[in-house]
Structure 1
Amino acid sequence: MMGRFSFSCLFPASWHFSMTSQILQRLLLPSFRQLIFIGLLFLLLGAFYLVLVVGKLPTSWIKKENHFHRHLARVTDVDSTDATNPDLNYGLVVDCGSSGSRVYVYCWPRHNGDPHELLNIRQMRDQNRKSVVMKIKPGISKLAQTPEKASDYIYPLLSFAAEHIPKNKHIETPLYILCTAGMRILPQSQQEAILEDLRTDIPVHFNFLFSDSHVEVISGKQEGVYAWIGINFVLGKFNHAHNDGEAVVEVNVPGGDQQEALVRKRTAGVLDMGGVSTQIAFEVPKTEEVAKNLLAEFNLGCDAHRTDHVYRVYVATFLGYGGNAARQSYEESIIKLTATRNKLFGQHIGEMAESPLLDPCLPKDLLDQIGAPEQKLHVLGTGDFDQCRRVLQPFLNRTNETQTSLSGIFQPAIDYNNSQFYGFSEFYYCTEDVLRMGGDYNASKYAQAAKGYCATQWKTLRERFDSGLYASHADLHRLQYQCFKSAWMYEVLHTGFSFPSDYKNLKTAFLVYDKEVQWTLGAILFRTRFLPLRDIQQESLKGVHAHWRHSFSFVNNHYLLLVCFFIVVLSIILYVLRLRRIHRRAAQRCSPSSVPWLEEGLGSPTLPINL
């Protein structure tokens, strides 16, 4: 027994377990340096992956994202409007004119977020590709004596509009009721009575975005500005990119100390002749001295600090110079003059149909009656266009002063060689409804056609009308007074506004690019000009969130995977290090005397040997 060697005595159980653990650690676990090396290797591989594979993605995606957002925001005009599109916004403008009232329904997509661009407003079209518009007669001014019926009068128009706009959109759809010349000629008390009835009753029956300031009698100046805005918007003149070959001008923006002129598209001037009034509007340079009552300076953009859409427009409106008002003034004049002559010379001209007063401004042989019943006058048309022009000239009230127009009102010089004008309402009806010459205006051809119409027998004109040879919306009233109105339009344009007879840059229009252009379009553009601020802010937030979401789902997924991978590797390393620490502590607890040996620098103790 004494000579027998015992390993159990040389290696106690605790020491045996500790040694076994250390051997296993060295066999199964890498060293600390190896772990650091492996971690760094993974980090380098991840960085290499990011640079080569992922590093180029964010920039390219941002470009695609911006293009994507702009593509969605810039919705092109379509033949019909999808009322189920939740991103469409709507607006209503009721034009209360002298002869009738019309409601126009407009729509536009969300603003694209670019503060340099305006809302993309267009007239709504139904599923049959027809403009959503409705007209009623007579004009609202006819309710001067019964203002309490104003809301009943307007109800059919708003009901029609409400049917075409999604119900959930009504509460955010602005409604504007704007009255023009027919109301302007009423006394202020009668105007206010009609407006007050509308303000009170409309909110009861309709849920549109409507306030007291949304119904008003607009001035002729406002109407002219709105017409100018509408046509230039449709023509794309407010898009200031000038690389498409269009004529450009240098404009000094009013106000401020701006030294350099803006180079932008040349805007078009506007001529608009309604039933009661006539307007002219065109942009003038900063250097042109214009009285404030004839000048409109405004910023059409949503940001008051930007000058891209600052315009300086000359606007003159002439009440009583519309087609119907001019005819009424003319009739009143000849009635008064004829009565004076009859009394002076003892004649009875016009008092009976057998002895009518000859009128050069009516078609040949058309017998008509004018004046009140107690002062009725019989007139017979002679159809003399040139003579009609001459007798109408005094009604223009021109003066001999230079740079003046109708009624001696100042008019800035027009560069006729570098300008463009569009004529609306009577300028279009007079050229197109009967004469079928709408579009590019040619003074000599127009005068020749008007002369031929006036000289044609009324019987023949009526036969042509019954055969449907004229425009579908030309009625008997147009047929009867076309001769007068064509002469009046000609004189207003060439004598009143001094346009040369060889001017080639006037277009008379009702549709431009297949869109009906009315001053109402300019009105809603101007009155909603601040709405893009809301969409710009929402678009910015949406862009940030969309960018984050898209980046997270497309690009940052790669980052996320790599980060998760690094976390897993780091967790393994930390876990291994913790295992090493645990095993070391276990080994130290198994040989408690080892610590003092190390501290005192002594060698290993003598182990007991059992012999």
Structure 2
Amino acid sequence: MLSCCEISKGSFAENKTEKLMWHEAVTTGPQKSNVKTFCSKNILAILGFSSIIAVIALLAVGLTQNKALPENVKYGIVLDAGSSHTSLYIYKWPAEKENDTGVVHQVEECRVKGPGISKYVQKVNEIGIYLTDCMERAREVIPRSQHQETPVYLGATAGMRLLRMESEELADRVLDVVERSLSNYPFDFQGARIITGQEEGAYGWITINYLLGKFSQVASNEILRDPCFHPGYKKVVNVSDLYKTPCTKRFEMTLPFQQFEIQGIGNYQQCHQSVLELFNTSYCPYSQCAFNGIFLPPLHGDFGAFSAFYFVMKFLNLTSEKVSQEKVTEMMKKFCSQPWEEIKTSYAGVKEKYLSEYCFSGTYILSLLLQGYHFTADSWEHIHFIGKIQGSDAGWTLGYMLNLTNMIPAEQPLSTPLSHSTYVFLMVLFSLVLVTVAIIGLLIFHKPSYFWKDMV
């Protein structure tokens, strides 16, 4: 009798034998070639199909990834309501911004037909029609889907400033009508206001520096290349230090860095152009102005330039009256272009804080005198840079003292104890007494016997 184990072993042996016989049968003879051909064709078909799928997938992914994205931009409208006309500007920038500041560029300008809005003070009902053409142009340029999110600003300048000085009520009346007219359009109107001359100058400064790439230079490396410092000059400045004075506090903004580096490039002409931006000459309510609407009388006679004018020009060796205005300008160009290391060596005894600023200070003085006060090459010779006059410093302190002394009550002048006539009489009397005494003394000394004989 066979055990279960033996039966199992027998069955396994039989199965193995059958499999070996079958494998030998299919792998020998003509059938062997047919099987290989069949397998090869199937494998090639699978590989080919997989390759096609892979190519299609690659193309699909590539096209999807590199498909042009829809333009994600924002628009803004600014109306410049000047004294002679009004202009509408449309600006555009990527919605993502850069350093939290829109990378803005102008896409459209529309000049409103007619004079400035201040001229409509007696016909305010025409202001709506006055603005229609340019506002309709803005509708066409800006996609309809973005109308409601597009801000509109109106800034009024010189003309409205003058109108407000004449009558604040009339100025407000014009602005109210302007606001009502602009609010009727499908844009996000942000209001109309009169901007000050200082604001106009500051915004112009921002525009110029932005378009010249100055701000991007400070943001890509946190470096400001300044033409008013000598080539090679470097200084790290805290951003917070820029806004410590009352003049700059209101322009404070948040920047993505705490410090930046000033690098001098020593270019007098560029420095001169930057300084000129400080002088607002866009309007003049008088026959002749210096800047910022300040009256300037005709230049006549001699002029004394003292204090900082004298000290700066003295350092630069430009106080001589024999040096012409053209020569002064040429010498300033040469000075500003000198390398910083060379300047430090030449003026080793001067503190670097003051030494580094003479290029700017000299340029500022020239710009103020020539473009601010309108001195010419001919009138330049009448400017005298004065340090002292008859041993006294030329400055404000002596004048201040003189002014204060005029406020002190005058006292009675001190008088002599005797009148003039009494004084003369006594002087003559005592002189005669002295002469008499002197004569008697001489007689006693030379002829004593004669004197005593007479006495006897």
* TM-score, reference length from structure 1: 0.31
Structure with more contact order per residue of length (Cα contacts < 8 Å, sep ≥ 6):
1
- Mark the structure with the bigger radius of gyration: 2
